[in-house]
Structure 1
Amino acid sequence: MPQTPLTVAELSEAELLKRIFPRLVLSAEHSAAVLLGPGDDAAVVNVPDGRTVISIDTQVQDQDFRLQWNNGYRTTGYDVGWKAAAQNLSDINAMGASATSLVVSLTMPAATPVDWVEDLADGLAAAIGKLGAGSCSVAGGDLGRGGELSVTVAVLGTLNGGQPVLRSGAVAGDTLAIAGNAGQAAAGLALLESNHPAESLAPDLRLFLDLQCRPEPPLDAGPLARSEGATAMMDISDGLVRDGTRLAIASDVVLDLDPARLKLLATPLQPAAGLLGADPLAWVLGGGEDHGLLATFPAGIQLPAGFTGIGSVQARGANEPAGVKIAGRPADSVGWDHFAD
């Protein structure tokens, strides 16, 4: 008979931590900013240039992920750990900064299998290493019991002597560009919600599912964009149009998207769209969990490696609101709202 999985209720907090800590020990070059890591009441973290960039985000079961999806896919602890790291590292990236350390809070039901928690630690460590956050390390965290799984990560970063790139710096005449994927995680979410079994998906479709569960933000693009003169930048977490509107409002401008460039972004999504009878352009405009970067650059400069131009920044008319247009017409894709959707 199969063995019943060991649950967190069968271990003390100290015993569970003994299983987690070794999985979070990264190589020495990842730990330079952490002067004192897990084991004490608080961590001690070095601040390389005297300023700290900080962000925090939470994933909650059945709100941000499901343990069992409609198409049969089971979310692993590795998935949740990876995504928890990726989405927070992406926020630091969007400021033009590099992550230096993070802390993690995990709340879980008593029946949570211990190996799920161990997988979460593995996912955190793997994302930090494989996504290229070479100066980052897990500095500590907290464990608690609750009615549902909830993972919160707070991440610290450094600007390495530079200035942060804000949402409010775009000016008329700038080029609008994107780094990373657009719409692929949204295609993956649609596949998870579909009736097409995960194990039957062809590799080109399975890729989208994987990018929803384990996004790959372009962590080298943020600091590079800052150094190359980006005027405004933000992480696309809630959709190109919704987040673009936020940038436009902050800068008091209009972002005008180029339909031809949007079509190029939608082309790789055609296999999933054909299977599901969906519009790939809607995924490009409304899907955000790829955690790509939206940035603006002064007109005439060569875009940094990894960035693709998708439109322009325009001054808004006297009676025109700041926002996003497509070929001069208001965009109607709204993207993700954590409270309305």
Structure 2
Amino acid sequence: MPEDRQPGNPGAVGELSESELLSRIFPRLDMEGRHGSAVVLGPGDDAAIIASPDGRTVISIDTQVQDQDFRLLWPNGYRTTGYDVGWKAAAQNLSDINAMGATATSMVVSLTLPPETPVSWVEDLADGLTAGIRELGAVDCSVAGGDLGRGREISVSVAVLGTLSGGDAVLRSGARPGDVLAFAGTVGRAAAGLALLESDRDVTTINPEQRALLDVQCRPLPPLSAGPAARLAGATAMLDVSDGLVRDGARLASASGVVLDLDPQELKRLAECLAPASDFLGTDPLVWVLGGGEDHGLLATFPPDIQLPPVFTAIGSVQALGTNESPGVKISGHTADTGGWDHFAD
């Protein structure tokens, strides 16, 4: 043992064996003594065992990679904590299950870590992951296991499983002409927060309203009650808005063979709360509303004769394709050309 290493307080993960590091992570994931009802067998064997009472399992996976999905140090001076990355790993994966109208039951987590990564940062990540699951309301979900590896940058992959508990999943392909287009959650706030992070405006100089937008980028707040509520209410199509309202809306429109027409007054209303960042940075807030992702709100369509669940607000309509028209997104009848996030093009 190096002379400067304290047995109870190692500085970096490279100073620990895999089992020593896991012994620090597991208690923070509440994996000792607590599991969701779906976890039959947690960590300790070669694989976990998850119950599937519904007979169907909804599954999704997502990855965050250092310097692609987050920076440890942003241009404005903000330092990404392990808690931020853990929370976001929980949020973005829980949102995908939510978008199917399902409820999350369990997660498995794979961590790739450079040896110089501080142990405290990894412990913080585990705390953030647990807090995200609990505070976002995924009460039936817990971490069932995972994997550790060594690499040149931090990478966090989470696979989450869920159940529909009867009924059918809500797909992207069910929107019909005449349906109401509705949204739950926030949109544009994470993009405004990202713009603040990428700016040269020192993080210590921003006001509480600007900091709240920055926090949505680092710790998203997907409306996890909205997905099952939409399914029970009769939603015809739904998806998680992670890459931008226009880009993701176009995906739903393409899958359903329709046009989504956004209400400009509703877009203006959604942009109003972004003024603390838009005025500060001199940016049109509609750019963030239309092109910003990572709030992880839900875009859904509903038959016109039903009452929307309380968490949803109507923001437009679904229209049939015109002659020689392709599926897509419009604003009051005009093509919306603001894009969104593309992992390979941006």
* Counterpart among 117, 122, 132 of residue 122 in structure 2: 117
Aligned residues, how many? 340
Query: Partners in 2 of 1:67 and 1:277 — Cα distance?
Result: 26
The letter for the 1-side match of 2:89 is A
Structure 1 residue 199 corresponds to structure 2 residue 204: yes
Q: Which residue of 1 aligns with 2:68?
A: 63
Query: Partners in 2 of 1:272 and 1:300 — Cα distance?
Result: 38
* Aligned alpha-carbon RMSD (Å): 1.5
Task: Give the match's secondary structure for 2:273.
Answer: helix
Q: Which residue of 1 aligns with 2:24?
A: 19
The letter for the 2-side match of 1:322 is P
Query: Partners in 2 of 1:31 and 1:256 — Cα distance?
Result: 41
Gaps of 5+ in 1: none
* Counterpart among 47, 53, 56 of residue 51 in structure 1: 56
Q: Which residue of 1 aligns with 2:100?
A: 95
Query: Partners in 1 of 2:32 and 2:113 — Cα distance?
Result: 28
Give runs of ≥4 in structure 1 deviating > 2 Å: 26-30
What is the TM-score when the length of structure 1 is the normalising length?
A: 0.98
Structure 1 residue 137 corresponds to structure 2 residue 152: no
Task: Give the match's secondary structure for 2:26.
Answer: helix
Q: Which residue of 2 aligns with 1:128?
A: 133
Q: Which residue of 1 aligns with 2:335?
A: 330
The letter for the 2-side match of 1:200 is T
Query: Partners in 2 of 1:5 and 1:208 — Cα distance?
Result: 35
- How far did 1:281 drift? 0.5
- How far did 1:140 drift? 0.2
The letter for the 1-side match of 2:294 is E
> Which aligned pairs between 1:147-158 and structure 2 lie closer than 5 A?
147-158=152-163
Query: Partners in 2 of 1:86 and 1:245 — Cα distance?
Result: 23
Structure 1 residue 209 corresponds to structure 2 residue 200: no
Query: Partners in 2 of 1:115 and 1:214 — Cα distance?
Result: 19
Task: Give the match's secondary structure for 1:55.
Answer: strand
Gaps of 5+ in 2: none
Task: Give the match's secondary structure for 1:312.
Answer: strand
Query: Partners in 2 of 1:27 and 1:280 — Cα distance?
Result: 45
Question: 2:31 touches 2:42 (CA, 8 Å); kept in 1?
Answer: no
* Counterpart among 244, 253, 257 of residue 239 in structure 1: 244
Q: Which residue of 1 aligns with 2:77?
A: 72
Query: Partners in 2 of 1:29 and 1:164 — Cα distance?
Result: 28
Query: Deviations 1:256-286 (Å, cap 9, x if unpaired)?
Result: 0000000000000011100000010110000
Question: 1:237 touches 1:289 (CA, 8 Å); kept in 2?
Answer: yes
- How far did 1:162 drift? 1.4
Question: 1:180 touches 1:292 (CA, 8 Å); kept in 2?
Answer: yes
Question: 1:26 touches 1:125 (CA, 8 Å); kept in 2?
Answer: no
Query: Deviations 1:231-272 (Å, cap 9, x if unpaired)?
Result: 000000000000000000000000000000000000000111
Query: Partners in 1 of 2:78 and 2:340 — Cα distance?
Result: 24
Q: Which residue of 1 aligns with 2:229?
A: 224
